[in-house]
Amino acid sequence: MPEVSANYSPSIFFKSGHLSTIYCGLVRRVNGVTQKRERLRLADGDFLDLDWSQSTTPTRKLVVLLHGLEGDGQRPYITGSAKLFNQNGFDACAVNFRGCSGEPNRLYRSYHSGATEDLEEVITHILNTYSYSEIYLNGFSLGGNLLLKYLGERNTVPKEIKGAAAISVPCSLRNSCEQLLTPKNVLYAQRFKKHLIAKLRQKQHLFPMLITDSDIKNIKTLKDFDDIYTSRAHHFKDALDYYTQCSSLQFLPDITVPSLIINAKNDSFLGEECYPIFEAGQNENLFLEIPKYGGHVGFWGKNNCTYTEKRSLDFFNSH
């Protein structure tokens, strides 16, 4: 579909991309969501923790929520989405990626932007265990890239998957990494690196022969982390090979499920290649919105409900 016009005009304070990003990431709080945790045992011996919240009325509709880099099922953008969907006839399953639920995962490997095998196991588990007739995917940043790759890389998807919404998506991982390494994003990059290295030190205790002090010392940037750990742990040649294989941009032409992408024009994490205008124009199942404002997973809204939360709900209800 051609690019969809966006009707998002926040107050002057939230027209700043950085303020919007920081407020929604660090300041926003969401109350009133009750989650129940389920541990999913994976085929390779590892596990994922799923945080479930229920609709206020009985339903056969489910939204699967996928967080971003170093996020989890309790981040406000996840619980805010779960709350709105629960209030509107959807159960919600918030997936905590490997090592993101407060407990280190068991294997040397972890999660990454293209680990669609884990999403596939979650969906298979849901289909085999529950009786949902409609399943929708809602991902943020890394989680948005992952769900778009999942939808586009396979010949068929389960018939129960009716739609998807991906917010602030680094469709080109290389292009997004380039942006994160620029001075305008230095504080975000340092924060991400701090959390990633802390987890890597935890993993070093389990795998001291695979992760050395020298490895950790050599991680100066996020790209270094992907060169030294992500690529090695997940069988890529290096960071650039990881970015090339796992970027969702190349999979967008083959998506057959109605899918909405919302990337703000003032998202400092995204470069030009992360706005798939051409790909959306060539695929009737892709709907691309590029609001002028919103930052990275920002999109402040009144009554503590963001524009993208409302927009995702409306998109799912219309498809």
Domains of the chain: 12-171+248-318 (3.40.50.1820)
136-153 residue pLDDT tens: 999 999 999 999 999 999
The amino acid at 117: E
* Residue 162 DSSP symbol: E
pLDDT at residue 4 greater than cutoff 90: no
CA distances from 243 to 65, 192, 223 (A): 23, 17, 10
Greatest Cα pair distance in the chain: 54
pLDDT at 229: 98
Neighbours of 291 (CB within 10 A): 22
pLDDT at 87: 98
CB 295 within 8 A of CB 267: yes
85-109 residue pLDDT tens: 999 999 999 999 999 999 999 999 9
- Split at pLDDT 50, 70, 90, the class of 3 is confident
Q: Token digits for 47?
A: 């596990």
Beta bridge partners of 96: 49
- Across all residues in the chain, what is the average pLDDT? 97
Point out the catalytic residue in the list 118, 227, 296, 312: 296
45-88 residue pLDDT tens: 999 999 999 999 999 999 999 999 999 999 999 999 999 999 99
Is 296 tagged catalytic? yes
Q: CA nearest 113: which of 79, 70, 78?
A: 70
CA distances from 135 to 92, 96, 157, 283 (A): 10, 18, 11, 21
d(CA 54, CA 62): 9
- Split at pLDDT 50, 70, 90, the class of 319 is confident
pLDDT at 5: 84
109-140 residue pLDDT tens: 999 999 999 999 999 999 999 999 999 999 99
Point out the catalytic residue in the list 141, 172, 231, 312: 141
pLDDT at residue 2 greater than cutoff 80: no
Q: CA nearest 222: which of 277, 270, 181, 179?
A: 181
pLDDT at 265: 97
pLDDT at residue 199 greater than cutoff 70: yes
d(CA 137, CA 147): 7
Burial class (CB in 10 A: 0-12, 13-18, 19+), 256: middle
DSSP helix/strand/coil, 158 = coil
Can you say how many angstroms the Cα of residue 303 is from the centroid of all Cα atoms in its chain?
A: 24
d(CA 309, CA 300): 10
Q: Where are the alpha helices (DSSP H) in the chain?
A: 17-22, 76-86, 116-129, 142-153, 173-180, 186-206, 213-217, 222-225, 231-233, 239-246, 277-282, 307-318
Q: Token digits for 269?
A: 């994490």
User: pTM of the prediction?
Assistant: 0.97
Q: In what order do the strands lie in the sheet with 161-167?
A: 36-41, 47-53, 91-96, 61-66, 134-140, 161-167, 259-262, 286-289
The single residue listed with the structure tokens 């706005």 is 275
Is 267 tagged catalytic? yes
Point out the catalytic residue in the list 51, 226, 267, 312: 267
> Bigger pLDDT: 311 or 6?
311
